[in-house]
């Protein structure tokens, strides 16, 4: 049986629970990102809270009550709500081990429906753009650094900031496309498992962000990622992934996984900042939470870093097999020079086009056109947040230099893998190959191997070794500078064109 009366406190308010009702009082505080120091400001935000939260819980928010002082004058304002059962909080249900999948599906549908009904306009779109997001990140960094007690490790915060700005620097076309697609909405802004209640007649989603509408104007993906972050924080990464899949299904959103990771990271750091503020107000339990959330932030930023992977080597060295297997495992887009070459020539990929080295569609002019198109497509994908694997011989150093320039322009990490194999192994592969796109034979392979410019920064992958060993070495090279997150939002990757 629940207590008849309780008082709960947050960094910005006090909740008084009496019987079947809850009364919310705003603290007269100025925390930088909110300012409730005047009664008029508190009155306005109370009315705003009721109106906004009725979008998702109309039967919970009853209205605003005026509090009278001894002289009969209004001295304060309270949000009046129907009291929700504590044991039905989504966080409590998850901790109890009870099934919540159906609740999460309904929550995803409710959030998607709210986003679908959202108003739109230039003022809202502006807050969902790249520069607004950058400003919010920067403000959070400044607020954390300004606190008198350094709770978060300085190096961790510095690395979070570096990865954040690197992602934003190279993704302007991605964020512009999100605005053009109408993905910026007037959302909830604060989706947390503690504020969602799983009732028998459906979920109730409470406590949207009401004190600054600019923080509620955001990408719908950003809004949903907040709840995914909180699910993962509770130790339920599978539920986080399931929820995101349902949200994208209901909104028909095909955003790249890197954007999911970025928004989850952003939401984790926002909560880390809030935990730091709570600690500064005397909550000692907030220290561990802040550090846990900072680590979660860093993991997702690392996982969402954009990578350009070059997989090269002469014919018969297994480069195409390695590249395809990596693309399948990682969910990255695979672009093949052999396929693009024949596409430019107007012939089907499987149609033979054999010619001596340097002749036909393998002449210098076609080769330059092929690499230019290969790199052009890669640059577009990288700008839009899609990691890319480029399968080509990469014999000429000039082409590798061009790829490095693209990685720099798109603020992407570059990994180079050079496939090799024993001569007798490549000879056998080329002699017995019966399918595939490449037209190279043993003679052409020998010429290409002889002409291959030194590639000192490439990691050698010896495919003469057992397949599992070669593949794992290639995978380890890619993952060397990345963190592993408990879940990975993946969808099929198709080569454009």
pLDDT score of 497? 32
User: 3-class SS at 233?
Assistant: helix
List beta partners, residue 288. Answer: none
d(CA 102, CA 239): 11
Check pLDDT > 50 for residue 421: yes
Q: Name the least confident of 57-66, 70-79, 143-152, 385-394.
A: 143-152
Average pLDDT over residues 418-424: 94
**C-alpha dihedral over 101, 105, 106, 108, to 10 degrees?**
130
Q: Name the token pair of 281.
A: 């107000």
Q: What is the DSSP string of 263-289?
A: HHHHHHHHHHHHHHHHHHTT-TTHHHH
- 184-218 in b/e form (b: 16+ CB < 10 A) is bbbbbbbbbbebbbbeeeebbbbbbbbbeeebbbb
Q: Say if CB 437 and CB 431 are below 8 A apart.
A: no
DSSP code, position 314:
S
pLDDT score of 356? 67
Q: Give pLDDT tens digits for 483-492.
A: 455 556 654 3
More confident residue, 149 or 360: 149
Query: pLDDT confidence of 463, banded at 50, 70, 90?
Result: very high
| Closest of 197, 179, 55, 51 to residue 123, by C-alpha | 179
d(CA 239, CA 253): 19
- Give the 3-state secondary structure percentages of the chain, helix then strand then coil, rounded to 5: 50, 15, 35
Average pLDDT over residues 222-248: 96
Check pLDDT > 70 for residue 496: no
- The sign of the CA dihedral 401, 402, 407, 413 is negative
More confident residue, 447 or 96: 96
User: 3-class SS at 458?
Assistant: coil
pLDDT score of 434? 67
Check pLDDT > 90 for residue 223: yes
- The sign of the CA dihedral 361, 363, 366, 370 is positive
pLDDT score of 252? 96
Q: Name the token pair of 310.
A: 């070059």
| Closest of 389, 395, 384, 393 to residue 452, by C-alpha | 395
DSSP code, position 440:
-
How far, CA to CA in Å, does 420 sit from each of 227, 306, 397, 412? Answer: 46, 26, 17, 26
Check pLDDT > 70 for residue 361: no
More confident residue, 171 or 442: 171
Average pLDDT over residues 22-30: 94
Find how far residue 335's CA is from the centre of its chain. 23
Q: Name the token pair of 264.
A: 């989850």
Query: pLDDT confidence of 437, banded at 50, 70, 90?
Result: confident
Average pLDDT over residues 466-485: 83
Check pLDDT > 70 for residue 131: yes
Average pLDDT over residues 359-374: 85
Q: Name the least confident of 6-20, 321-335, 351-365.
A: 351-365
Q: What is the DSSP string of 328-389?
A: HHHT-EEEEHHHHHHHHHTS-TTS-----TTSGGGSHHHHHHHHHHHHHHHHHHHHTT--EE
More confident residue, 33 or 78: 78
Q: Give pLDDT tens digits for 49-89.
A: 999 999 999 999 999 999 999 998 999 999 999 999 999 99
pLDDT score of 492? 38
More confident residue, 456 or 5: 456
Q: Say if CB 158 and CB 141 are below 8 A apart.
A: no
Check pLDDT > 60 for residue 321: yes
User: 3-class SS at 310?
Assistant: strand
d(CA 380, CA 293): 32
How far, CA to CA in Å, does 10 sit from each of 25, 230, 281? Answer: 10, 17, 10
* Domains present along the chain, CATH in parentheses: 5-82 (3.30.200), 86-303 (3.90.1200.10), 307-479 (3.40.50.300)
pTM of the model: 0.88
Average pLDDT over residues 397-417: 97
Q: Say if CB 56 and CB 208 are below 8 A apart.
A: yes
Length of the chain: 497
Q: Give pLDDT tens digits for 257-291.
A: 999 999 999 999 999 998 998 888 788 888 999 99
Query: pLDDT confidence of 165, banded at 50, 70, 90?
Result: very high
| Closest of 10, 65, 12, 77 to residue 39, by C-alpha | 77
- 431-463 in b/e form (b: 16+ CB < 10 A) is eeeeeebbbbbbebbbbbbeebeebeebeebbb
| Average pLDDT in the chain | 91
pLDDT score of 349? 63
d(CA 398, CA 409): 17
Residue percentage of the chain with pLDDT more than 90: 75
How many of the other CB atoms lie within 10 Å of CB of 127?
Answer: 20
Find how far residue 332's CA is from the centre of its chain. 14
């Amino acid at each position: 049986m629940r207590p008849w009366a309780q008082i709960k406190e947050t960094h910005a308010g006090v909740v008084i629970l009496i019987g079947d009702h809850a009364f919310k009082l705003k603290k007269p505080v100025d925390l930088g990102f909110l300012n409730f120091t005047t009664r008029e400001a508190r009155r306005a935000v109370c009315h705003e809270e009721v109106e906004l939260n009725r979008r998702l819980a109309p039967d919970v928010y009853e209205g605003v009550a005026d509090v009278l002082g001894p002289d009969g004058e209004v001295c304060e304002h309270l949000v009046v709500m129907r009291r929700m059962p504590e044991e039905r909080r989504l966080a409590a249900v998850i901790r109890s081990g009870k099934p919540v999948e159906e609740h999460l599906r309904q929550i995803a549908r409710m959030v998607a429906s709210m986003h679908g009904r959202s108003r739109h306009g230039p003022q809202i779109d502006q807050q969902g753009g790249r520069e607004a997001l950058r400003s919010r990140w920067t403000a959070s960094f400044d607020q954390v650094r300004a606190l008198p007690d350094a709770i978060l490790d300085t190096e961790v915060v510095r690395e979070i900031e570096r990865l954040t700005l690197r992602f934003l620097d190279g993704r302007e076309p991605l964020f512009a496309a999100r605005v053009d697609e109408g993905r910026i909405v007037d959302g909830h802004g604060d989706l947390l498992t503690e504020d969602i209640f799983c009732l028998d007649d459906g979920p109730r989603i409470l406590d949207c962000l009401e004190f600054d509408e600019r923080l509620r104007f955001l990408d719908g993906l950003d809004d949903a990622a907040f709840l995914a972050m909180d699910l993962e924080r509770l130790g339920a990464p599978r539920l986080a992934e399931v929820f995101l899949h349902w949200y994208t299904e209901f909104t028909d959103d095909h955003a790249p996984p890197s954007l999911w990771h970025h928004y989850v990271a952003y939401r984790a750091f926002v909560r880390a900042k809030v935990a730091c503020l709570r600690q500064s107000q005397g909550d000692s339990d907030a220290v561990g939470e802040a550090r846990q959330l900072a680590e979660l932030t860093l993991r997702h930023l690392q996982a969402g870093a954009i990578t350009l992977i070059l997989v090269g080597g002469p014919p018969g060295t297994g480069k195409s097999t390695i590249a395809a297997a990596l693309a399948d495992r990682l969910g990255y887009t695979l672009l093949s020079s052999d396929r693009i070459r024949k596409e430019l020539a107007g012939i089907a990929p499987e149609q033979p086009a054999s010619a001596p080295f340097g002749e036909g569609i393998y002449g210098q002019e076609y080769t330059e056109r092929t690499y230019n198109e290969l790199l052009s497509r890669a640059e577009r994908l990288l700008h839009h947040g899609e990691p890319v694997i480029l399968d080509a011989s990469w014999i000429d150093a000039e082409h590798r230099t061009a790829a490095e320039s693209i990685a720099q322009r798109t603020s992407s990490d570059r990994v180079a893998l050079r496939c090799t194999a024993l001569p007798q192994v490549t000879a056998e592969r080329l002699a017995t190959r019966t399918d595939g796109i490449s037209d190279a034979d043993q003679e052409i392979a020998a010429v290409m191997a002889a002409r291959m410019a030194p590639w000192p920064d490439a990691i050698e992958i010896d495919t003469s070794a057992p397949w599992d060993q070669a593949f794992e070495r290639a995978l380890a090279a890619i993952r060397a500078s990345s963190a592993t997150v408990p879940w990975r939002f993946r969808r099929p990757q198709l080569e454009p064109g």
